[in-house]
Each structure stands twice: as structure tokens, then as C-alpha cells.
Chain A
């Protein structure tokens, strides 16, 4: 069984299919031309593909394929009720539901919106507990337009979930999405008058570790953080080998909760990889120290990787994957030690996820 990379770009979806060793890769596509694929994923529960795609004229849609991209079915119109005073702007992230709820999916969107589907993405209902959260008036829309980009589900309890929204912060529910509490303590928002507010933090990506689900990681506008208590408290992980706390994507090792990967940028005012090189930073000790991994990555290079552009698989050794805004896809089948450019000159890459094909 080979790896299947789903590469979402500004101009459609591409596949990269590998052999078992993840050394030979074949490019296929584009599919869904005319759509900006903000995120595409393969549902591990049944192998179906889901795409969060946007078009500047025709809006945001979710597409599902049960035949690896040969045919697609579009969700019925997705929208926010009039009482919210909000309209859907863009769809950003599709997350498979808990394995015990095989027809459930979650969809993050702008403006600061989360939707749930109970029918494999045919229809979507807004999660009003988050859309109409009592702190909403304190959320500060950033350049990302207050996108809900991260949805994480506790592997042992489908009612425990996390959602993260740019310029709004991270939120946790313990009742399946009815009610949400902000979990942003000690997470900086340096761009606000109070740099440690209850909400308003600009989370760029939030991930939960499946083997230690009380452990969360986040790449934020203002630093890289780790929480070991479901987001109640956060430690900022800087001054320890990272050239910058600013960046967008984040990836985790599938088994070792102490191992995480980031691709920092120089800073908010100069959004390219530091030191004129494309580098991945890995920690093996929970963020206490970080090591630069560059073997096979280009220099000089001034790259940028979007928040959805970084992924890891569950093989051994773990595969790590990322795509750049300049249209290259890099693969490491050795947990980051060595890298191979497996595609180049694609349209700007918005997302990378890994699945399987046979």
C-alpha cells in the first residue's frame, strides 16, 4: 500500500502517489480546477476524500469523493443563520469525526465558524455554541479573516474537542460542542493592549497528540506552545534553538508525544523562512530544544508554508510532508533526517495531507 498525498493548491487539487517505500512519487491532477483547495483529506474511517474548496465568485463548498477523485459530490449549501448576522465567507478545514460516529464530520470556516455534519458531509449545521460564543465581540479578525482552521477530537471521548480560530484563540468543549470554554491562559497576543487576554490570540495551528491526548501543541502568531493539561495552561517554547516563534504550520510525530515539527518564518513583518534557507525544526524533548533539519532542502531559499501545508503519516519510520507557497512538495521518509523534493512548479500550495492508496 502506497502513500497518497493530497496537495491542495490555489488552482485545484493534486495527488502524489508513492510506492511502499515512499521513494518514488507520481503526480496526478489537477482535479477540481477552478477551486482553491484550502484543505483536502482522506477520511481514515472509510477512505473517502473530502475537500474544502473556495471560489472567489461562487463561495465555499465541501466536495466528497468515494472513488479517489474520479467523481465528486458537493455538499448542499453551507451557511449561517440570519440571526447571527453573519454570512459564510470561506471553508477552511474538514476534520473526520470520532471513529464511534462514522457519519460525523466537522468543518471550520470563516468568519469564526464551525459546522457539524451527521451525514458524511451531505448537509452541515452550524455549531451555535461556538458561532455565538459569549466572547465573540472580543475576537479580532486578522488577515486570515478569523478562520477556524483546527478541530481536534479526543481519541477516547468524542465529546471532548478543541477548535482554534485565528485572532480568536483556542476553545474546548466537553459536551460535544454545546458549550465551549476559551483555553488561552499564558498564550500571548502581543498585538493587543492586554498581551494576555482571555480570547483574541492568533492561533495558526493547533494539534492534539493521539497517544497523550491531554497534550496539545500550537504554533501561534506569537510563539510555539505546549500544554499538558488539555489547554488549561500553556508553556511558550522559545530561546531554545528556534530562530523565531513566528510560523504557521505544525506537525506531530504519530507515536512519540515529545516530538514535534515546525517551519518558522522570520517574523510577522517578513514572512519567509529564516537565514535564506528552507528548514524544518524538530524537537525530541517536548520543545525544550529544537534541531534544524536541512538535508535535501534547498539553500538559498525564501520559502513559506501555509498552516495546512504540513503533515505526518503513521508509518514507521514516520513520514513528514510539506508543500510551499512556491509550489514544491518535500517528503521525508526518515522522520525529517533526509528530504526529497517530489514535485515542483505546482500552483501555490495551501494544504498537504497524507492518506493511502492501493
Chain B
């Protein structure tokens, strides 16, 4: 099981839950299991451009992206990129 931590705006859309424990083999599988997956992934199932995801502190985009294996991983942290106004 891996713990997924959501930013507050996304957590509001998940009924106020900030954390979810999911059983998944890859990062993509974990994100698709969330009730807010549509906010994190677009209609092609790709990570939205300004959604950053860290698996045990490592930026998933710099590695294997949604294919990142979760074996042994403890925490997925989702953070909105610094942007906007």
C-alpha cells in the first residue's frame, strides 16, 4: 500500500479527504484509482501539465512518469506547479 497525499483544492473535491491509501503497481494505476483522477489526468490519461507528482520525494516526470513502479514506495505527494495569478 502506498499513501497518496492530495493538495487542498483536490482534497475538497474528494469529499475533504487529504490522504488515500491505494494498492497499485504503478503511479498511473494509483492515480487512476483516486476519485479525483480526472483532475490529475486529462482525457488521454496523461498527467496534466501543471500537476507535479513526487514518489518518495522524487519527481516522477524526471523518471518513468506514470509508469513509475511503486514496489517499496511509501508516499505519493501531488503538488500544483507554481504558476498562475
Contact = CB atoms under 8 A, between A and B. Distances in A.
Interface stretch (A79-87, A95-103, A160-168, A275-283): A79-87
A58 B48 contact: yes
Contacts of A77: 37-38, 41, 43
Classify chain A's interface size.
10 to 19
Contacts of A78: 38, 43
B43 A79 contact: yes
Interface residues of B, number: 19
Contacts, number: 48
A58 B10 contact: yes
Contacts of A58: 9-10, 39-40, 48, 51, 80
Interface in B2-42: 9-10, 12-13, 37-42
Given A34-B9, A58-B48, A58-B51, A88 B84 contact: no
Residue among A58, A61, A79 with the highest chain B CB neighbour number at 10 A: A58
Contact of B13 (A74, A81, A82): A74
Interface string A50-66: 00000111110100000
* Chain B contact surface mostly: mixed
A199 B16 CA distance: 46
A76 interface: yes
B80 A57 contact: yes
Interface of A: 34, 55-59, 61, 74, 76-82, 87-88
A66 B61 CA distance: 39
A76 B44 contact: no
B6 to A, nearest CB: 11
Nearest to A10: B85
22 contacts: A34-B12, A55-B9, A56-B84, A57-B9, A57-B51, A57-B81, A58-B9, A58-B10, A58-B39, A58-B51, A59-B42, A59-B48, A61-B38, A76-B38, A77-B38, A77-B41, A77-B43, A78-B38, A79-B43, A80-B43, A81-B43, A82-B44
